[in-house]
């Protein structure tokens, strides 16, 4: 599991995440949701070891997160940063040279599932198709944790559905964990086990999705809309 203990991360004077304590169990698909600037990307960077907090402690399966724990994590950033002069196949070959856990054959199978031509030049692919190629490369790694920052951003609905099916087909959710940030909540809701909601660097909810459906008898999008509306009402009362 991944555990945050009073974690704070600042960029200059701005606190991107504020004194967060959180446990993310293994064998789950967990959604990080919230408005832009709420802290979702920062949390993923901290989990991956790309960025370290100024305060607090974060552990992965009991070990302090560092460059060493990156061997257990496949991190897909939101930024479109891949080598444009590669073909898709060359991208996979590069990953194969960098990560001992990379399964080249699996990446090729995922690419085929997502309808990506291995011989296509990344530079000539659309943003959506480059996104699919990056997802295939990420899922090609055999790791305990997949950390995905807006993996569905900029993709049309049919492509989003194929990627969501890929998460189920190519990840062993009994032993592996997917933690993804997304604005496409309706698309990912059917596969989510837990949802973590952030606002202004704070966690305002951390709930099992099934419990929300069973106890409140509403879908996750409606639940989150109510959550934010109640927060605004309470905030206005506090300021009045």
Kindly report the CATH number assigned to the domain that includes residue 218.
3.40.50.300
Kindly state whether residue 71 falls inside one of the protein's structural domains: yes
Kindly state whether residue 86 falls inside one of the protein's structural domains: no
What's the gap between Cα 78 and its chain centre? 9
pLDDT in tens, the chain (240 residues): 899 999 999 998 889 999 999 999 999 999 999 888 899 999 999 999 888 899 999 999 889 998 778 788 999 988 766 777 899 999 999 999 999 999 999 999 999 999 999 999 998 988 888 888 999 999 999 999 999 999 988 788 888 888 898 898 999 988 899 999 988 888 898 899 999 999 999 999 999 998 888 877 888 888 888 888 776 545 444 443
Helix (H) and strand (E) counts for the chain?
A: 8, 10
Give the CB-side neighbour count of residue 192, counting CA atoms within 13 A: 29
- pLDDT (0 to 100) of residue 217: 80
For residue 19, the enclosing domain spans 2-77+144-239
Kindly state whether residue 105 falls inside one of the protein's structural domains: no
Kindly state whether residue 93 falls inside one of the protein's structural domains: no
- pLDDT (0 to 100) of residue 236: 42
Kindly state whether residue 176 falls inside one of the protein's structural domains: yes
Kindly state whether residue 134 falls inside one of the protein's structural domains: no
Kindly state whether residue 42 falls inside one of the protein's structural domains: yes
Kindly state whether residue 118 falls inside one of the protein's structural domains: no
Residue pair 132/114 in contact by the 8 Å Cβ criterion: yes
- pLDDT (0 to 100) of residue 238: 42
Q: Is 148 helix (H, G, I), strand (E, B) or coil?
A: strand
| Residue 147 to residue 230: CA distance in whole angstroms | 30
Number of domains in the chain: 1
């Amino acid at each position: 599991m991944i555990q945050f203990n009073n974690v704070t991360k600042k960029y200059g004077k701005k606190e991107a995440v504020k004194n967060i304590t959180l446990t993310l169990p293994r064998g789950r698909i967990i959604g990080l949701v919230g408005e832009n600037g709420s802290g979702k990307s920062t949390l993923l960077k901290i989990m991956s070891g790309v960025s370290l907090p100024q305060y607090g402690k974060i552990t992965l399966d009991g070990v302090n997160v560092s460059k060493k724990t990156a061997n257990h994590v496949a991190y897909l950033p939101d930024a479109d940063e891949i080598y444009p002069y590669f073909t898709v196949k060359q991208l996979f070959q590069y990953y194969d040279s960098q990560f001992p856990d990379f399964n080249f054959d699996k990446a090729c199978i995922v690419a085929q599932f997502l309808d990506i031509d291995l011989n296509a030049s990344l530079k000539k692919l659309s943003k959506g198709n480059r996104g699919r190629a990056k997802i295939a490369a990420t899922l090609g790694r055999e790791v305990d944790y997949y950390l995905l920052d807006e993996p569905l951003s900029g993709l049309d609905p049919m492509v989003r559905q194929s990627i969501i099916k890929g998460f189920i087909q190519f990840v062993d959710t009994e032993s592996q964990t997917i933690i993804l940030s997304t604005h496409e909540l309706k698309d990912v809701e059917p596969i989510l086990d837990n949802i973590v909601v952030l606002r202004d660097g704070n966690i305002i909810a951390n709930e099992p999705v099934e419990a929300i459906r069973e106890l409140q008898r509403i879908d996750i999008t409606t639940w989150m809309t109510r959550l934010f509306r109640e927060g605004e009402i309470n905030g206005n009362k506090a300021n009045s």
